Copies of this chain bind each other. A is one copy, B any other.
Amino acid sequence: MMFSLNQWTTRHWPLPDLAAGCAAAGVAGVGLWREPVAEHGTARTAKLVRDHGLAVTSLCRGGFFQEPDALDDNRRAVEEAAALGAPVLVLVSGGLPPGSRDLDGARSRVADALAALAPYAGEHGVRLAIEPLHPMYCSDRCVVSTLAQALDLAAPLPPEQVGVVIDTYHLWWDPAAWDGIARAGAEDRLALFQVADWVTPLPEGVLTGRGMLGDGCVDLRRFRTAVEATGYTGPVEAEIFNDELWTMPGPKALNLTLTRYKSHVL
């Protein structure tokens, strides 16, 4: 497996510096986010990463299927991923519409959206990757809360068009995660592996409190081993949303992440 820096780990590092910094550190892959890519320009970003010999391991993110214009927006995200040469578009499937209590309805809307988008993704050589998010995000960010659910949602669609993301931060608590990883491998659905650690107390809003690798209670090596055992040879993206990390200069944050990756994931 190859280390890849997800851009949100070094959120405030400008793209040109990030590309140069990754190349300098011997990092061969980056996971990019749509907003900074749009700011820098998609074609310009594609050239930038190519010029630095970097692979774009994923684009974050499509999804948010509760929004009225979700399908159009997701088609654009597929096109952007294709333009960047990203093989994977990460999907954060969205929460409940305002005032709704219909969780089953929201989940079946995700299934419908996937069916509508999968062929489009296939035509563009992009794989949609359903990311189960921690259940604490169920109401407002992602009604797909477990790996089993994500695999069930993927099941009706071709594996080359739809896969799943294994993110240790979201799945570590789930006793069914290990069976899920094996199943993802057996069903050829493992599109992306991301790592972050779990630390408490959680901050207000619970978005920016992910732990640096090794700082928390996730058995990261067990996850890496389980993912590897499926035959997965793709990237390991470090994706750590953390206020403290975001105050560090990019090179320092990358260096810390790499050091911890070697001692806690490999």
A31-39, A75-83, A99-107, A232-240 - the one binding chain B:
A99-107
* Total count of chain A residues near the partner, CB < 8 A: 31
Which B-chain residue is minimally distant from A200 (CB atoms)?
A: B140
Docked CA distance A202–B205 (Å): 5
What's the minimum C-beta distance from A144 to chain B, rounded to whole angstroms?
10
Q: Is A224 an interface residue (CB 8 A)?
A: no
Evaluate contact between B103 and A172: CB separation under 8 angstroms.
Answer: yes
Which B-chain residue is minimally distant from A102 (CB atoms)?
A: B219
Give the oligomeric copy count. 2
Binding site for B on A (CB under 8 A): 96, 100-103, 107, 134-136, 138-140, 145-146, 149, 172-175, 198, 200-206, 216-219
Docked CA distance A146–B173 (Å): 10
Docked CA distance A135–B200 (Å): 13
| Centre residue among A172, A173, A216 by max chain B CB count within 10 A | A173
22 A-B pairs in the complex with CB atoms less than 8 angstroms apart:
A101-B217, A101-B218, A103-B172, A103-B173, A107-B175, A134-B135, A134-B136, A135-B173, A135-B174, A136-B136, A136-B206, A138-B172, A139-B216, A139-B217, A140-B201, A145-B174, A145-B175, A146-B175, A149-B175, A201-B204, A201-B206, A202-B204
